[in-house]
């Protein structure tokens, strides 16, 4: 798993789930689903969930992607892995996310 937290240029802290807004993760999930829809339709993104941060930790999006990540596999392509991360960063903008992949052995 990789955690991708993009620092905001204005120096503000990342958005956090508030104790006063227990359903704040629902809005984040809706927004992420809308942003990732083209990648889901293409089959690149195979799943997505929102992980709630605890205390002062921010919430983040966990994105399941369909790509080979085992470096010793014959179909591994490091450039393609980086390309997918960049596509996710462009799609999600300032939203913090991490990727989860299903490795094939």
Residue 87: which CATH number? 3.30.70
β-strands 2-4, 97-101 pairing: antiparallel
Per-residue DSSP letter, 47: E
For residue 61, what are the domain limits? Answer: 2-101
d(CA 88, CA 82): 10
Total domains in the fold of the chain: 1
What per-residue confidence (pLDDT) applies to 70? 79
Residue with the bigger pLDDT between 33 and 68: it is 33
From residue 63, give the alpha-carbon distance in Å to each of 5, 11, 31, 55, 67: 13, 25, 13, 22, 12
pLDDT bin (cut points 50, 70, 90) of residue 103 is low
pTM value is 0.65
54 vs 17, residue with greater confidence: 54
Which residue from 49, 57, 56 is spatially nearest to 98, judged by alpha carbons? 49
**Polymer length in residues for the chain:** 105
Q: Which residue has the tokens 């921010």?
A: 58
| φ, ψ at 78 (rounded to 5°) | -60, -40
pLDDT in tens, 27-52: 888 899 999 999 999 988 988 988 88
CA distances from 92 to 9, 37, 40, 54 (A): 15, 11, 13, 22
């Amino acid at each position: 798993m990789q955690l991708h937290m993009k620092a905001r240029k204005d120096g503000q802290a990342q958005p956090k789930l508030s104790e006063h807004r227990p359903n704040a993760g629902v809005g984040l999930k809706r927004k992420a689903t809308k942003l990732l829809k083209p990648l889901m339709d293409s089959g690149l993104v195979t799943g997505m969930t929102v992980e709630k941060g605890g205390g002062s930790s921010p919430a983040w999006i966990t994105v399941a992607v369909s790509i080979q990540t085992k470096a010793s596999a014959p179909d591994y392509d490091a450039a393609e892995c980086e390309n997918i991360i960049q596509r996710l960063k462009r799609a999600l903008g300032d939203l913090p996310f991490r990727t989860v992949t299903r490795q094939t052995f």
